[in-house]
A and B are shown apart, each in its own frame.
Chain A
Amino acid sequence: MADFLQQVVAGLASGGVYALLALALVLIHRATGIINFAQGEMAMFSTYILWTLTVNHGWPYWPAFAFTLAASFVGGAGVYHVVIRPNSASSVLRVVIVTIGLLIFVNGLAQFIWTGEVRAVESPFPSGTVDIGGVVIAWSNVGTIAVSIGIVVLLWLFFQFTKVGLAMRAAAVNPAEARLVGVRVTHMLGLGWGLAAILGAVAGMLTAPSLFLDPTMMQATLIYAFAAAVLGGIDSPVGAVVGGLTLGVLLNVLSWLSQYGLFDWFTEELRLPTALLIILGVLLVKPSGIFGRTEVKRV
């Protein structure tokens, strides 16, 4: 049982990372109706900023973390204003293709700057474990879960209780109307891209110590984030969080069960295909996801 709970907690930790990146996808999808395929690569790029600051410039971890968040915000907003906005008046397809181009561009840029060499990224959390009633949990998992939850709560408070947060929601649900009350919609969308980039950066930085950093680091995580977002409902922030945590726990529990002969065909290699099967399954059975509202189109 303790063994099982350990797997669940480890699953919550990886699920927290999926949830953060899924939340970034949901944020942008709600605001602009597009999927940012470059979200994972942008997160990887952010993580390189952290690595450069801590390793090459000797910065302590948390100041480097904070600087990376600020840089990611500026980068995300910049990407929106320079690359996305000029294209957004045309078809959704065109913008989606632009984000795929962005994925390739950011990846190439990272290779160019930092080479494809695998780098170790330090963890901000102590390396040991903590024993809670017989359940042994790594501090890194505790830290990852805590930071994920903290970020989600902060984001919720921001959207619920601040004027800018409210204006961002208004701009997302009804841009024409938002302009009439004086909200500068393009500014809000830029802010949204900046916030999404911050979420991605946190996901990248939390996951880097265990995945190791190279230009492909976030590609699998992006697929898990897609699965989480689709599972929860691509327009539901709550869904993204629940979807991410569920997916993390599910994959770990499947691994755990396979040790005991149940689902013994389930190997590490099947984690990613499982995520894709979930995407496919949800889209076929309930395209709006668990928490998504079915869109009613008025005739």
Chain B
Amino acid sequence: MTTPLLALDDVHARYGPVQALHGVSLEVAEGEIVAVLGANGAGKTTTLRSVSGTVRRSGGEIRFDGTPLRGGPEAVAKARIAHVPEGRGTFTDLTVEENLRLGAYTRRDREVRADIDRMAEWFPWLAERSDQRAGTLSGGEQQMLALARALMGRPRLVMLDEPSLGLAPMIVREIFRIVRELNAAEGLTVLVVEQDARIALESAARAYVLEVGRVAVSGAAAELEADEAVRRSYLGY
């Protein structure tokens, strides 16, 4: 078996006295879409945060492309892991174009301009709104801008935290459609955290279901979807 792109091995994390992760292990292979599911407070967001270094882990190891991942979020961004946090996470005071330029902050090449133009192929409305402040965009547009900004870093892995949060079902479908297309066309590797298990399982190849900071079930998306017991007890539909 080849080395997975991202591997979490028995990761523990805590917020002060509250233990949020009690040993999470998961793997994401290159070119794969993997979903992390579970109820509120199961540790989904903390799992992503432990990867991006925004929460310090109290145990376990995270390996990216075979080497241990260390340091804060700046170092993780430099390793070309893009984290789109919950609640859009755009710079609302800055313009659309400035948001995109910031996405390419760790890059040193001269193709940033070309990539900004390329983003307009995926998100056609971006070009005409480039001077608009991100805060004036609709929720769905902000989520797409956050995704576009993540792509500007030419990431090897994109982590999406709850992209469906507060958005209309139609827009959520549109966002997941773009994620699937990016995966198919450019081999984009995606680790997505979702509360809406149904939509996430449609796009993901594999999924992990978390329960109080541990992996309760994992497997191929199709199998999890087909297993009624899993659906009832963990996915809630």
Contact = CB atoms under 8 A, between A and B. Distances in A.
Interface of A: 163, 166-167, 169-170, 173-174, 176-184
Interface string B188-222: 00000000000000000000000000000000000
Contacts of B103: 181
B149 interface: yes
B54 A166 contact: no
A168 to B, nearest CB: 11
A31 to B, nearest CB: 13
Given A169-B94, A170-B94, A173-B94, A180 B89 contact: yes
B72 interface: yes
A178 B98 CA distance: 12
Contacts of B52: 180
Given A167-B105, A180-B77, A182-B74, 6 more contacts: A170-B91, A174-B92, A177-B91, A180-B73, A180-B83, A182-B73
Nearest to A160: B98
A174 B54 CA distance: 14
9 contacts: A169-B98, A173-B92, A173-B93, A174-B91, A174-B93, A178-B91, A180-B77, A180-B83, A183-B105
Contacts of B92: 173-174
Given A167-B105, A182-B77, A177 B85 contact: yes
A174 B93 CA distance: 9
Nearest to B78: A182
Interface string B85-97: 1000111111000
B102 interface: yes
A166 B72 contact: no
B94 A181 contact: no
Which of under 10, 10 to 19, 20 to 34, or 35 or more describes the interface residues of B? Answer: 20 to 34
B54 A181 contact: no
Contacts of A167: 102, 105
Contacts, number: 60
Contacts of B91: 170, 173-174, 177-178
A183 B94 CA distance: 15
Given A163-B105, A166-B102, A167-B105, A179 B94 contact: no
B85 A180 contact: yes
B93 to A, nearest CB: 4
The residue among A176, A178, A179, A182 with the most chain B CB atoms within 10 A of its own CB is A182
B14 interface: no
B27 to A, nearest CB: 23
Contact of B101 (A163, A176, A182): A163
Interface in B160-180: none
A181 B85 CA distance: 11
Given A173-B91, A177-B89, A182 B54 contact: no
A166 B93 contact: no
Contacts of B102: 166-167, 170, 178, 181, 183
Contacts of B72: 179
Contacts of A174: 91-93
Contacts of A180: 52, 54, 73, 77, 83, 85, 89
Contacts of A181: 77, 102-103, 105-106, 149, 153
A22 B91 CA distance: 25
Contacts of A163: 101, 105
Contacts of A179: 54, 72-74, 77
Contacts of A182: 73-74, 77-78, 105-106, 153
B74 to A, nearest CB: 5
Interface string B120-146: 000000000000000000000000000
Contact of B74 (A170, A173, A177, A183): A183
Minimum-distance CB pairs A-B, first 7: A182-B77, A182-B106, A179-B73, A173-B93, A182-B105, A181-B105, A181-B102
A163 B106 CA distance: 10
Contacts of A184: 74
A225 to B, nearest CB: 24
Contacts of B93: 169, 173-174
Contacts of B73: 179-180, 182
Nearest to A174: B91
Contacts of A183: 74, 102, 105
A186 to B, nearest CB: 10
A174 B89 CA distance: 9
A148 B42 CA distance: 56
